[in-house]
Structure 1
Amino acid sequence: MLKYAKKVFDKMPERNTFTWNSMMNAYTASRLVFEAEELFYLMPEPDQCSWNLMVSSFAQCELFDSSIEFLVRMHKEDFVLNEYGYGSGLSACAGLRDLRMGTQLHASVAKSRYSRSVYMGSVLIDMYSKTGNVDCAAKVFNGMCERNVVSWNSLLSCYEQNGPVKEALVVFARMMEFGFKPDEKTLASVVSACASLCAIREGKEIHARILKSDKLRDDLIICNALVDMYAKFGRIAEARWILIGCQSEAWCPTPVW
C-alpha cells in the first residue's frame, strides 16, 4: 500500500498541501518518521496539519526530543497545535519527564478550545503522573467535566506508581461506584497496588473478578501482576499455578517470571 501511494505521489504533475500531507501520513502510519520528515522539508508550504503530524509522529515513535523540537519550532512559526498535537507534545514531556515543558503546555491547553476534552484531561493526568506530580494529576482529574475509563485508569496508575498507593484502591472503588467497567489496564494497576500494600483480601477479590472474564484472565500484563502479587503475599503455590496457566497459552511469547 505504501509503495503504491509513493508511486502515485511521484507521478503527480502537480501537488498541493493535502497530497503532501497525505504522503507524509502514509509514511508515519508505517513508522517511517524520518522519511516523513524528509518530505516535510521538501514541502513548499507546510501548513498546520503538516506541523502537527510531525509532532505526533515523533512522539508515537518515542523520539520525544524531536517531537518537542518540532513543537517549539511550530510555535515560533505561529502555527497552532490541534488536539492530538497537544496530546503528543504532552506525551513527549511525559516520556522525557520534563515537568517544566509539560506545565507550559498545560497552560496553553487551558486557553484553548480543548481545555474540556476528555482525551486532553487523560493525557495531562498521565503527564503529571510520569513527572511525579500527583497533586496536579488529581487536580486535573477532579476538574474534568466528563471522564472515561482512560481518565480513571490514568489517575489510578498515578497513585499506584507514585503513592500514596492506598489511594489507588479508593479510586478503583469510586470508578466502580460511578458504573465504569474496568479493563485490563485498570485491573493490572489495582493488582499491583494490592501487592504493594500486601492487601490479600482485596487482591483475591480482584483475582476472582478477573477469572470471570476469559479476555482478562488471558491477558499477559494481568498475569504478570497476579504472579507478582501472590509472590509478595508469600503464596508461592498460587503464583506457580497462575504462571503455569499463562505459559500453557499459545499466545504467551515469553515467560512471565
Structure 2
Amino acid sequence: MVEADELFKNMPARNAASWNTMISGYAENRRFVDALKYFSAMSASGQIPGEITLSSVLLACANLCSLEVGKMVHAKIVKLGIEHNIFMGTALSDMYAKSGDLDSSKRIFYQMPEKNSITWTAMVQGLAENGFAKDSILLFENMMANGISPNEHTFLAILFACSHSGLVEQAIHYFEAMQAHGIPPKQKHYTCMFDVLARADRLTEAEELLMKVPSNFEASAWSALLSACNTYNNKEIGERAAMKLHELEKDNTAGYVLLSNMYASCGKWKDAAEIRILMKGASLKKDGGYSWLQLKGQYHAFFSWHLIFSKKKNENERMV
C-alpha cells in the first residue's frame, strides 16, 4: 500500500477507478481508517463514487462500527438511486448490523425486492452477533423454506449463534446438516463446535472431536478448549490442550497464560508460578488489550498497559 499510495499521489490526473483502487485496497488490507480518509478526499475532489467504492467504504464502516459515517454513505446511496440494488442493500444491512443498529439492518433487509444467499447470510450473522440467537435460527429456517441454499458462511453464522446461546443439540444438528448439504466443515466450523461443547462443560466430547481433525488444525480451537478447562477446572484435559497449543504456535502466549490461570484457580500456585517463569524465560509477553472510540471524525485507542508496537504492525492499528 505504501508504493500504491506514492503512485497515486504522483498521478497527474485521477478518476473514479483510481480512487476506488486505493479505497478498496486499504479496505482489503484492513486499514479501514485510511479507507475512510481516502473516501473523504474523493468526495472533496468532486468524484462520484460507484458501487464498488461504496461497498468498500461500507465494509470499513462495519469493521470500525462507524455508524455516523455509515449513515452518510447510506444517504449518498439513496441520492444515487441505487439503494434497492441487491449488492448495496446487502452491504448496508451488514453495516448496520455490525454497528449495532439492528432495527435499520432488518428494515433494509425486509424492504429489499430481491435477496440472494449472501443477503440472507449477512442478516443471519447480524442477528447472531447481536445476541439474538433464536431469531437468527428462525431466519435461517425461513431461508431454507424459501429455497435459498445456505453456504459455508451461513452455517458458520448459525453455529456461532448456537455457541453463544448454549444451544448444544441444535449446533450438533446444524453441523451434521451442513455435511448433508455437501459442505465439508472447515477450521472455523470445527472451532465453533468445540466452543459449543466446551461452554456446556462437555470437554471430553470436544477433545474427542478435536482429535479427529488434521494435526495442523488452527490453534484457536485448542485455545478455546483450554479456556473452557480453565473455567471448569479440568486440569487433565487442560494440560493436554496447552501442550498441543504450544506445538502449533510456540510463540503464542495464550496457552501459557490460560494454563497458569487454571493452575491458580485450582490452588496449584507452584505450578502456576513455574508456567510464568517458563513464559518469562522464553521472552514472551502477553499483548495488552485496547478499546477505541470515534470522536469528531478521529479514532482514539486506549491501552490497558504500555504496548510497544513492532514494525510489523500496520498503521491502522494505531488509530490515533
Alignment TM class, shorter chain as reference: 0.7 to 0.9
Provide the aligned length of Structure 1 versus Structure 2: 222
Query: What's the % identity of the aligned pairs?
Result: 27
The SS at the match of 1:216 is coil
**Cα distance, 1:215 vs structure 2:** 4.3
Match of 1:256 in 2: 221
The SS at the match of 1:197 is coil
Alignment of 1:185-196 (within 5 A): 185-196=153-164
Distance 1:133 1:181 in 2: 27
Q: TM-score, normalised by structure 2?
A: 0.65
Match of 1:126 in 2: 94
Q: TM-score, normalised by structure 1?
A: 0.80
Matched, 1:228 2:195: yes
Deviates more, 1:129-138 or 1:227-236: 227-236
2:123 to 145, 155, 171: 155
Alignment of 1:1-257 (within 5 A): 33-212=1-180, 215-217=183-185, 219-248=186-215, 252-254=217-219, 256-257=221-222
Distance 2:14 2:26 in 1: 17
Code of the residue aligned with 1:81 in structure 2: it is: P
Distance 2:18 2:50 in 1: 11
**Cα distance, 1:213 vs structure 2:** 5.7
Code of the residue aligned with 2:208 in structure 1: it is: W
Encode CA deviations 1:214-252: one digit per residue, 9 max, x unaligned. 6423x000000011112223322321222112244x5x3
Match of 2:262 in 1: none
**CA-based RMSD:** 1.7
Deviates more, 1:166-175 or 1:238-247: 238-247
Code of the residue aligned with 2:210 in structure 1: it is: L
Distance 2:41 2:20 in 1: 11
Code of the residue aligned with 1:242 in structure 2: it is: L
Structure 1, unaligned stretches of length 5 or more? 1-32
Distance 1:209 1:183 in 2: 11
Code of the residue aligned with 1:129 in structure 2: it is: A
Distance 1:192 1:90 in 2: 23
Distance 1:194 1:254 in 2: 21
Structure 2, unaligned stretches of length 5 or more? 223-320
Contact 2:191 2:220 in 1 (8 A): no
The SS at the match of 2:213 is helix
Runs of 4 or more off by more than 4 Å in structure 1?
A: none
Code of the residue aligned with 1:136 in structure 2: it is: S
Higher helix share: 1
**Cα distance, 1:207 vs structure 2:** 2.2
Structure 1 residues 147 and 213, CA, compared in 2 at 3 Å: closer, same or farther? closer
Structure 1 residues 147 and 126, CA, compared in 2 at 3 Å: closer, same or farther? same
Structure 1 residues 101 and 241, CA, compared in 2 at 3 Å: closer, same or farther? same
